[in-house]
Amino acid sequence: QKEVEQNSGPLSVPEGAIASLNCTYSDRGSQSFFWYRQYSGKSPELIMFIYSNGDKEDGRFTAQLNKASQYVSLLIRDSQPSDSATYLCAVNNAGNSGGSNYKLTFGKGTLLTVNP
């Protein structure tokens, strides 16, 4: 059973702080990693993906991947109240250049609250 684990939270941070969201996965063959943001009552929205070890930055968001330790994290700098949402981690083991498995396994998400 391939599992993706996230702390359900809530994670509460003050406005302007760095929010750190973490995700661990059980399948060592996993190669592609995604972060989705889901506002209450809305659908998941893709915000970041990462395929290689290290950091990937996009605006206020940084995804960090450590395959040896089997964890992926999302940092949100200068957190805003509009960042308050549930963040879902998703994992795939097909790689980004081929393979026959395009299934994503999702964690249950971490609820982030940014306080003004």
Partner 1 sequence: DAGVIQSPRHEVTEMGQEVTLRCKPISGHDYLFWYRQTMMRGLELLIYFNNNVPIDDSGMPEDRFSAKMPNASFSTLKIQPSEPRDSAVYFCASSRYKLEQYFGPGTRLTVT
CB of 10 to partner 1, least distance (A): 15
Residue closer to partner 1, measured from CB, 4 or 79: 4
> In the complex, which residues of this chain contact partner 1 (CB under 8 A)?
32, 34, 36, 42-46, 49, 88, 92, 94, 96, 101-109
Residue closer to partner 1, measured from CB, 83 or 107: 107
100 C-beta neighbours (distance < 10 Å), count: 5
CB of 71 to partner 1, least distance (A): 18
With CA atoms as reference, report the closest residue to 110 among 12, 38, 7, 23.
Answer: 7
CB of 43 to partner 1, least distance (A): 4
Indicate the Cα dihedral angle 108, 79, 62, 94, nearest 10°: 20
CA–CA gap between residue 33 and residue 96 (Å, rounded) = 10
